[in-house]
Structure 1
């Protein structure tokens, strides 16, 4: 079973952290939420407390197949300032592991120089943080070993793309169908 770590910090966007946790688990992936705050309870942007599965200091990051960063402020600031997480992201990228980020989360990757030469997207207005990336306004962008997405409204397609990448398209479609997620129709 593929292992996915979702990193949480105070101020994270709850939809962007918990939607992937929920949907990836539905897709049969082993998901662990990881607090970088030195305590298991992390409070999201909307002041919703969430109990992380483990602390960064005790988590086996090297065993993960994918790392996921949600957006939300000041959560992204905490993520970008965490030296241990920076090293883990660089090591994962070096090994070709899947690295995923949504909303302002891709700016953490941009700040580390990981998106140079990659196509990427982010929350509107955060584009300057995607240093060296080929910018896109697509809701979800897959480029090399990176998946990026735009924000809370794209959390479901972001999650489904991660499932597809780590398992297969059929499993992703099964999860989409199980939550009654249908293609949106332009009005």
Structure 2
């Protein structure tokens, strides 16, 4: 199970691209709101979450996904239950994927120390102890980080590669016209 967390002010492209691509890959996901069942993105798009954060236990998670956006990232970071899930993930070596501003949630807890990471430009100072990179997506330990809205497809395909395999990710790239051939 992949849990994609949503809070008011989330970056729609980053969240919904991951939802779409993972569902195309037949990966089970749930959009989890840390607020109300209806969540409003940073650009006014309203999304109906599959469930609320208090309705999951997280122990069945293969990955936790944190979309960025502001104030979505700070709204996620304030949620104590989400912080418990992230600590559980770190302690139990469960994958965490964060894009755009969302890696700051991990950086502020010190989880990214010595990890190779990327985030939206200007937020690097919050990635305490991380080795800052400049590519679209980084995998380091059990963390996947990505730069921002324009890298959302790369981020999603990377998640598919990890949870399924490279062939499935590449097949989706071709089907979605991201890549030209097999």
Fold shared, TM-score > 0.5 on shorter chain: yes
Q: Which runs of 4+ in 1 moved over 3 A?
A: none
CA distance in 1, matches of 2:22, 2:91: 24
CA distance in 1, matches of 2:135, 2:87: 25
Shift in Å, 1:60: 3.0
Of the candidates 121, 124, 138, which is equivalent to residue 124 of structure 1?
121
Deviations 1:8-35 (A, max 9, x none): 0000000000000000111110010000
CA distance in 1, matches of 2:161, 2:128: 27
Unmatched segments (≥5 aa) in structure 2: none
Unmatched segments (≥5 aa) in structure 1: none
Q: Secondary structure at the match of 1:128?
A: helix
CA contact under 8 A between 1:86 and 1:112: conserved in structure 2?
Answer: no
CA distance in 2, matches of 1:88, 1:140: 23
Q: Count how many residue pairs are aligned between Structure 1 and Structure 2.
A: 180
Deviations 1:156-186 (A, max 9, x none): 0000000000110001101111110138xxx
CA contact under 8 A between 1:119 and 1:141: conserved in structure 2?
Answer: yes
Match of residue 28 from structure 1: 26
Deviations 1:97-155 (A, max 9, x none): 11000000000010111101111000000101111111011110000100000000000
RMSD: 0.9
CA distance in 2, matches of 1:27, 1:98: 17
Q: Secondary structure at the match of 2:59?
A: helix
Of the candidates 60, 63, 73, which is equivalent to residue 60 of structure 2?
63
CA distance in 2, matches of 1:12, 1:48: 10
CA distance in 2, matches of 1:178, 1:67: 26
Deviations 1:68-112 (A, max 9, x none): 000001000011111111111011111111100000000001011
Q: Using structure 2 for the length normalisation, give the TM-score.
A: 0.97
Match of residue 71 from structure 2: 74
1:136 matched to 2:133: yes
